[in-house]
Structure 1
Amino acid sequence: MDLFSAGPGLMPIPLPDGELGWLQQLPLPWPNGDVLARLILETAWREETVVVYGKRHLQPRLSAWYGDAAYRYSGLSLAPAPFTPLLEAIRASVQQVTRCEFNSVLLNYYRNERDSMGMHADDEPELGPAPAIASLSFGAERTFILRHKQTKETLRLRLTDGSLLLMRGSTQQNWLHGINKTAKPIGPRVNLTFRKII
């Protein structure tokens, strides 16, 4: 069976040495704008400091970690908060579409065009060798950049309001991904990346 044929409406995106699936609108019982407003209001946002190449930097965005287990990346250790009713409802819809099980979610709040995410792979040991990462976006559209670790091939995807991107298989082994700052003024965006901590 094709990887994405099991999920309702999830369309494959060709990617050498990786697997991507895309859904333009995750089905939810609320309008996207209401979900965005609630996520901004109800989430316990933090401005974290990470270690990159031995130096400490404030992340250019706000973040929060919810789920069943702690998570470590870039010298940062995140203790989980319990899923809120809103996050539980969103997780249920994401799991139904992707046919994957997730026990944790990292939320990132991009307040404006100056907030960004550096190029990285979600390849921490506690995610396993071939993790499924479901990336859900609300708010302003941002360009998601994927760059192959060896060939340097680059793919750019527009992450639109309400859209879901599933990365799985060998994607994290072979590709980096990130979100650049932009010169054009843009509004807020909240991204939720669902994952399973082993």
Structure 2
Amino acid sequence: MDLFADDTSLRQLPIADGELWFTPRLPLAITPEQAMQRLREETAWRAEHIQVWGKLHLQPRLMAWHGDASYRYSGRTFHPLPFTPLQRQLKQAVEQATGRQFNSVLLNYYRNERDSMGFHADDEPELGPQPAIASLSFGAARTFILKHRHNGQTVKLDLGDGALLLMAGTLQQHWQHGINKQTRPCGERINLTFRNILRAP
């Protein structure tokens, strides 16, 4: 297996009220460019709506849900498509790096700088009280922002091509995270967030 990247160790970052682990490059048998191209072509991308304060809004990105369990958030239930061979390969690499097991993945396709992710916490009941969420990124780098719910602390991380981020422990209880729109032109990015659904919604 031909691995790439000089530094592939998953390191814990100093953060209060939760666990945050990061490596700038997850070891894989294919390059990030190959993974990006295949994910773009092999995924059944959808433009989804979410319900916020009783109103439906079009998500500012394309999405797909794959795995073994349904997932409910923002007033909607998402039923999964099966893992593709590439998604299963990436899941196994993420599980090896993190020591965690996952049964589902949410894919987000950021087409340009106008696409974004609003601030939220992955704290749905079916994820359990201390969920582990593994975020794997391909394509153009975007700034991932965490905001503490109570003390105002902010943490920013540039998630580049092949970067892996693990959020665990009580982080979802105390922090929210998101990705803002950008004013400067930005290329495509695909992000996979692996999670373990404990029960069907």
Corresponding residue of 2:146: 146
Corresponding residue of 1:5: none
Q: Which runs of 4+ in 1 moved over 6 A?
A: none
Shift of 1:65: 0.3
Corresponding residue of 1:130: 130
Shift of 1:164: 0.1
Q: How do 1:1-198 residues align onto structure 2 when only pairs under 5 Å count?
A: 9-198=9-198
Shift of 1:55: 1.5
Shift of 1:50: 0.1
CA deviations over 1:73-101 (Å, ceiling 9, x no partner): 10121101010100010000000000000
Secondary structure at the aligned position of 1:114 is classed as coil
**What is the CA RMSD across the aligned residues, in angstroms?**
0.8
> What is the CA–CA distance in structure 2 between the aligned matches of 1:50 and 1:152, rounded to whole Å?
27
Alignment: residue pair count: 191
> What is the CA–CA distance in structure 1 between the aligned matches of 2:67 and 2:40, rounded to whole Å?
18
Runs of at least 5 residues in structure 2 that lack an aligned partner in the other structure: 1-7
Shift of 1:134: 0.2
Q: Report the TM-score when normalising by structure 1.
A: 0.95
Shift of 1:135: 0.3
Name the amino acid aligned to 2:176: L
Secondary structure at the aligned position of 2:190 is classed as strand
Name the amino acid aligned to 2:14: P
Q: Report the TM-score when normalising by structure 2.
A: 0.94
Name the amino acid aligned to 1:69: A
Runs of at least 5 residues in structure 1 that lack an aligned partner in the other structure: 1-7
